[in-house]
Amino acid sequence: MKKGGRGVSAWPLALLAPLAAMPLQAGAAGKSVAQLEKEMAVLQAENQSLEQRIQQLESRLAALAPSPQAATQPMATATQPMTRSAPPAATVLASTTTPTSDVTQTTSASTIRTVDDVPKSVEDIYQTASGFFSSSKFSIEPSFSYSYYDVHEMTLNGFLALDSIFLGNINIDRIKSDTYTFDVTTRYSPTPRLQFDIDVPMIGRDSTYFSGGVGGSSTTLSQSQLSQAPKLGDVSAGISYKLVQEDADWPDIVGSIRVKAPTGKEPYGIKVRTDPNNDNLSVPDSMPTGNGLWAATAGMSFVKTIDPAVVFANLGYTYYFDRHFNDISSNANQQVPGSIKLGNSWQLGAGVAFALNDRISLGMSYSQQIEQGSQTKVDGGSWQGITGSDANAASINLGLTFAMSRHFSIIPTVSFGLTPDSPNYSLSVRFPYQF
């Protein structure tokens, strides 16, 4: 159909064409001139009504037609990857009786994307990667984690004879440790860009210590086991703010600041005692549940949707404040007051995840923490570095998210240590619930 006056006038001409033969037909039927004029008036009124209807439909079609730029680039719009915050073009279905203003309002409203429009599996990926829960104002996340350490140490006390024969004592020590952590994290988001959270951990430990040299024999081992029921660890609180919203060019960027309080039992002043049956075996009286120092962490996380994957990365830096203790010595029957300054640390990580369907996603990531050496200062003395206190812990993480409902998910993760300072492996299960 052509637009404009000529396109509209074609309809009246088509309707009036049969009227040319009506006088002959009317005469043949014996109709009067007055009757014919009356019928002509009725047909003209119907034609005028149809012409107005055509004009309304053409106006409505013009309002729904795409812009010239979009019309010349149909493939660019169709193949553009969908991001978490950029929805695909909406399809509007309207009947011929829908007013033009209503259609325009429906089209505009459909382009507003909220987090509810994203599959729950993609939402879980984003929340796991960034730690930012923006889809609800309040959420709670219980979690359980288990870590296994198996450390072997060999001590040589002697010298080499003829550059090949070792003369002296060889002592092999081993420590097996199981650590259980129960966490409850609560989050509150007053706005979609701002989040407050607090984390309360309970930590339990089981450790077994092995050492050779029982009775002076290098082939005989002795062991001692120490268990500790779950106790309060170091409580932390944080604030996160979404600096950049994801679009076609930029990822989501979230900045965060956390403060950790020394609410757990510190490791300083815990006495180490020698096993009466083996002078080479030393066992602590108890085990710590925290590091005993205030700490502040600043970090940033980045999340980008690259259909069909979601890539993410994070970077953080932790600063430890020095603190004075009444006793920092591990020697039994000795009390040495002093101060402790733990080494500051960098945390970094990156990974990728894929949504298998609306409920399940799989992800893999790499994480690393590099910690500087620690220092001690006895009252009246100067700061002294602790040999071997620096650390480098790296691990590979494999995770799964399973959405039980729109509000509740289960997120299991398994990690494998890559360095001696890392746990051999770790298992964790998180249960985030959004109100």
Residue 262 region by backbone torsions, left for phi larger than 0, else alpha for psi between -120 and 50, else beta: beta
Band (299; pLDDT cuts 50, 70, 90): very high
Residue 120: is its pLDDT beyond 50?
yes
Please report the pLDDT score of residue 138 as a whole number. 93
Q: Is the peptide bond before 251 cis (omega within 30 degrees of 0)?
A: no
Band (154; pLDDT cuts 50, 70, 90): low
**What pLDDT digit, counting tens, does each position of 264-273 carry?**
999 998 888 8
Which pTM value belongs to this model? 0.69
Residue 109 region by backbone torsions, left for phi larger than 0, else alpha for psi between -120 and 50, else beta: alpha
Band (218; pLDDT cuts 50, 70, 90): low
Please report the pLDDT score of residue 13 as a whole number. 44
Residue 32 CB contacts under 8 Å (≥ 6 apart), including other chains: none
Please report the pLDDT score of residue 219 as a whole number. 61
Band (161; pLDDT cuts 50, 70, 90): very low
Band (100; pLDDT cuts 50, 70, 90): very low
The Cα–Cα gap between 80 and 75 comes to 8
Residue 1: is its pLDDT beyond 60?
no
The Cα–Cα gap between 49 and 60 comes to 17
**What pLDDT digit, counting tens, does each position of 137-148 carry?**
899 999 999 999
DSSP labels, 263-282: -S--STT--EEEETTEEEEE
Residue 66: is its pLDDT beyond 60?
no
Residue 419: is its pLDDT beyond 60?
yes
Phi and psi dihedrals of 337, rounded to 5?
A: -75, 150
The DSSP element (H or E) to which 168 belongs, if any, is strand 165-191
Mean pLDDT of the chain: 78
Mean pLDDT of 402-417: 93
Under 8 Å between Cβ of 347 and 317? yes
Please report the pLDDT score of residue 132 as a whole number. 77
Beta bridge partners of 178: 148, 206
Residue 291: is its pLDDT beyond 80?
yes
The Cα–Cα gap between 50 and 40 comes to 15
Helices 5-16 and 33-64, axial angle in degrees (round to 10): 150
Under 8 Å between Cβ of 307 and 81? yes
To the nearest whole percent, how much of the chain has pLDDT over 70?
73
The Cα–Cα gap between 85 and 268 comes to 49
Band (99; pLDDT cuts 50, 70, 90): very low
Band (214; pLDDT cuts 50, 70, 90): low
For residues 431 and 247, the model is more confident at 431
**What pLDDT digit, counting tens, does each position of 238-257 carry?**
999 999 988 888 999 999 99
**What pLDDT digit, counting tens, does each position of 372-406 carry?**
999 999 999 999 998 888 999 999 999 999 999 88
Band (215; pLDDT cuts 50, 70, 90): low
Please report the pLDDT score of residue 273 as a whole number. 83
Please report the pLDDT score of residue 279 as a whole number. 72
Closest CA to 207 of 145, 148, 154: 148
* CA angle, 80 then 81 then 85, to 5°: 110
What does the DSSP 8-state code read for residue 406? Answer: S
Please report the pLDDT score of residue 321 as a whole number. 96
The Cα–Cα gap between 145 and 183 comes to 8
Mean pLDDT of 202-226: 78
Residue 165: is its pLDDT beyond 70?
no
The Cα–Cα gap between 366 and 148 comes to 19
